[in-house]
């Protein structure tokens, strides 16, 4: 019996670490830039969320919750139903993230909850790329993270004074 040494895992080593650090730095710089550009101006209090933005947001996010749960916890992965459902879910999440920048009723500006939108816009394309390249473990981790971010944002959206609270409880 011969002992074999395990081959190094892909994307490991100094170059991968440097790439991850560079990506993280770019994400932080992008978030700072986005915050500077999108910060509320003096007339931010006069901003009114367009009703269409709320309805588009709800029309994309509400079905994304059960569809995402079904995709994540069903036994069979990678089949046609999973791929089609995943594409629909990814499109709904990206549409929700983009639309969220028009939904800003509390401050009139972009708030901390919008960090989830930036996260979605970065992580969903990465997760799709991982699925397409066969890196299913990384794909699953990212999609779970995005899904739980969706749930967290939904819980935060139900805070008193927010639009969803007002729609549900008057």
Neighbours of 37 (CB within 10 A): 8
What b/e readout covers 125-140, taking b as 16+ CB neighbours within 10 angstroms?
eebbebbeeebeebbe
Please list, in sequence order, all residues whose beta carbon lies within 8 angstroms of the beta carbon of residue 130, skipping any fewer than 6 positions away. 136, 138, 139, 142
Question: How far apart, in whole angstroms, are the C-alpha atoms of residue 167 and residue 105?
Answer: 12
**Contact present, 120 and 93 (Cβ < 8 Å):** yes
**Maximum C-alpha span of the chain:** 76
Q: pLDDT truncated to tens, each residue of the chain (170 aa)?
A: 555 555 445 556 667 776 777 777 777 767 666 665 566 555 556 777 788 888 899 999 999 999 999 999 999 998 999 999 999 999 999 999 999 888 876 666 777 778 889 999 999 999 999 999 999 999 999 999 999 999 998 888 888 877 777 777 77
pLDDT, residue 110, reads 75
What's residue 11's pLDDT? 56
Identify the pLDDT of residue 156: 83
Say what the pLDDT of residue 138 is: 95
DSSP summary character for residue 6: P
For residue 53, give both structure tokens: 């933005």
Q: Token pair for residue 27?
A: 């994400």
CB 71 within 8 A of CB 89: yes
Cα distances (angstroms) measured from residue 65 to each of 17, 109, 154: 33, 26, 9
pLDDT the model gives residue 42: 56
Q: Which fold has domain 50-169?
A: 1.20.120
For residue 79, what is the DSSP state? Answer: S
pLDDT (0 to 100) of residue 7: 46
Task: Enter the tokens of residue 73.
Answer: 């916890």
């Amino acid at each position: 019996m011969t002992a074999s040494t395990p081959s190094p895992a892909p994307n490991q080593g100094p170059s991968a670490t440097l790439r991850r650090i560079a990506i993280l730095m770019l994400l932080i710089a992008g978030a700072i830039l986005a915050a500077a550009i999108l910060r509320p101006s003096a007339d931010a209090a006069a901003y009114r969320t367009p009703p269409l933005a709320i309805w588009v947001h709800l029309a994309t996010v509400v079905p994304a919750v059960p569809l995402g749960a079904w995709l994540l916890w069903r036994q069979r992965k990678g089949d046609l139903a999973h791929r089609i459902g995943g594409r629909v879910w990814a499109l709904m999440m990206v549409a929700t993230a983009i639309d969220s920048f028009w939904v800003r009723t509390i401050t009139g500006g972009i708030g901390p909850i919008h960090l989830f939108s930036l996260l979605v816009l970065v992580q969903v394309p990465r997760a799709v790329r991982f699925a397409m390249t066969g890196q299913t473990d990384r794909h699953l981790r990212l999609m779970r993270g995005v899904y739980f971010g969706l749930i967290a944002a939904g819980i935060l959206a139900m805070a008193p004074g927010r639009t969803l609270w007002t729609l549900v409880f008057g």
